[in-house]
Amino acid sequence: MADKAKILLVEDDPTLSYVVRDSLSNNGYDVVHCADAETAWAQFMKHNFDVCLLDVMLPKKDGMHLATQIRQKNEAIPILLLTSKNMDDDKIAGFKSGADDYITKPFNMQELLLRLEVFLKRTRKKEEDVQPEVKLGNLTFDYNNLVLEGDGVSHQLTQREADLIKYFCANANKVLKRDEILLNVWGKEDYFLGRSMDVFITKVRKYLKGQPGVELQTIHGIGFKFVYNPQ
Tens of pLDDT along 61-89? Answer: 889 999 999 988 888 788 998 887 665 66
Domains of the chain: 6-128 (3.40.50.2300), 134-228 (1.10.10.10)
Task: Please say if the pLDDT value at position 33 is more than 90.
Answer: yes
Tens of pLDDT along 126-176? Answer: 555 556 789 999 999 998 888 999 989 999 888 889 989 999 999 999 999
What secondary structure, in 3-state letters, does the chain show? Answer: CCCCCEEEEECCCHHHHHHHHHHHHHCCCEEEEECCHHHHHHHHHHCCCCEEEEECCCCCCCHHHHHHHHHHHCCCCCEEEEECCCCHHHHHHHHHCCCCEEEECCCCHHHHHHHHHHHHHHHHHHHHCCCCCEEECCEEEECCCCEEEECCEEEECCHHHHHHHHHHHHCCCCEEEHHHHHHHHHCCCCHHHHHHHHHHHHHHHHHHCCCCCEEEEEECCCEEEEEECCC
Predicted local confidence at residue 173, as pLDDT: 94
pTM over 0.75: no
How far is it, in rounded angstroms, from Cα 34 to Cα 54?
Answer: 10
Q: Which distant-in-sequence residues (6+ apart) come within 8 Å of 119 by Cβ?
A: 51, 78, 80, 100, 101
Predicted local confidence at residue 88, as pLDDT: 61
Task: Please say if the pLDDT value at position 1 is more than 50.
Answer: no
